[in-house]
Amino acid sequence: MSLARAVFFLLILSGALVAQTTNEQGKFILHKFAKAIGEENYTIEQTSGKLTLKSDFLFTDRGTKVPLKTTFTATDALEPLSLSLDGQSSRMSGLKDRMEYYPQSQKMTLTRAGKTEDLSAPAGSFLIDGYSPVAMQQMLMRFWLRRGVDGFRVDVIWHLIKDGEFRDNPSNPHFVEGRPPNEKILTQYSTDQPEVHEVIAEMRRVIDGFDHRVLIGEVYLPLHRLVAYYGNDLAGAQMPFNFALLSTLWNARSIEKIIADYEHVLPAGAWPNWVLGNHDRPRVASRVGREQARVAAMLLLTLRGTPTLYYGDEIGMRQLAIAPDQVRDPFEKNVPGIGVGRDGCRTPMQWNATAGAGFSTAAPWLPLADDYSSENVANLDADASSILSLYKALIALRRKLPQLVKGAYQPVAAQGDILLYLREGEGEALVVALNLGGEPVSVASSSIGVGREILLSTFLDRGGEQVQGTLDLRGNEGVILGRSAQAG
């Protein structure tokens, strides 16, 4: 399988640290690029009329794991092909390693079997031409892995491969007028192609060549199709993102079913993961309400597997309404007013009460929430009963109790607004009891056992309380119970 053109974006640390351009405008851009990523130790060399930025930038150990968010886009071809760049045709063979920066837009087309595809590159593109997907991925992944990144979070990983016959996607017979235009088609030939798993397996082989690295995939698919991205013999992504909680109804029975369905379809030995908030969906505190946001935090951090926490959720940031003249999201710009904009969950992190909320001294890309002067990290960190303090307590408990990390998940039958389950391991069982409603409820000792002690409440005010019989929960309260020290 050969490659007509590949474009690689590093969306956290943008671009490449070996880049080429050909003119003085490009030289200025290379200097700006180096400064933008905070790189001081670099040179710009001129060879054969080309300017090349070279850097020895390395990640330093600050005690934080840093996986890069990446997007691989490839057009694959099963037959010989040619690439036209501004009208000059050249065979895609015998190419050397090359990464070039194009300050001006470049018109590119791919012609094969009488079909022409527009592959034009916008101004400001970094392009890698002429590699097979395997060679391109391996080169770029190793470049960053050798510099200390801890892995890759691959954007829209189920989109990596398109239909080899260039067939058109079928129309969506259930399309509703007024919805986004992309919903007019069913992505039968442009997503989730069988060959994608071969590509992911190659990426995983690169990852496995380095110690303690991870491959994460963004996948919006039903659970039974999602788990295929773990790969044959678990040789695919270690963590295909599980976004089920982003769209499920927020009630005990719906969540209970989602957990059961996911646990049922997981391949043997696969490591689960859960996502409660991200850059594509409204904020948790707005979806489930400020009171239930605490219960959601306890759910996320007590389920089996790796929890993914979206920035700002730990301080209860809410969805922000964005005025039309402040919209940045292309979705909202293309089809305004129908609720597809994602800017409201992407507003600046609220660090403190200073101008700019400690995020920036300049005008930010998106507006700040009106409550940033009170709802910020500095204020909530000083409040022992805040949602931020709850998140810290939950994380500390996970670190202390192996049952919350590696323990088995065991559901316990419950009714109404109660979600009840055990986390079992090392001869002990923890009980997680969550009230997903606003009214007080009671849980019988027959469900939780006797001689229990509250290790943590979402209200942060019941630690150490002994529960010998019935467990009483306030509205919007969750608790974690362990074996009482008094019971031996």
- Indicate if 218 belongs to the active site: yes
Q: Phi and psi dihedrals of 95, rounded to 5?
A: -80, 145
d(CA 419, CA 436): 7
Catalytic hit among 39, 150, 155, 198: 155
Strand pairing of 214-217 and 239-240? parallel
Q: Where are the beta strands (DSSP E) in 11-149?
A: 19-21, 42-47, 50-55, 67-77, 82-85, 88-91, 100-102, 108-112, 115-118, 125-128
Interatomic CA distance for residues 449 and 429, integer angstroms? 10
Q: Is 378 left (phi over 0), alpha (psi -120 to 50) or beta?
A: alpha
Task: Quote the tokens at residue 69.
Answer: 């968010």
Catalytic annotation, pick one of 76, 192, 218, 375: 218
Give bridge partners of residue 52 from the DSSP assignment.
20, 45
Tell me if residue 155 is catalytic: yes
User: If 0-12 CB within 10 Å is exposed, 13-18 middle and 19+ buried, where does residue 39 land?
Assistant: middle
Neighbours of 360 (CB within 10 A): 13
94 Rama sector, left if φ>0, alpha if ψ -120 to 50, beta otherwise: left
Cβ neighbourhood burial of 76 (10 Å; 0-12, 13-18, 19+): buried
Catalytic residues, by residue number, are 155, 218
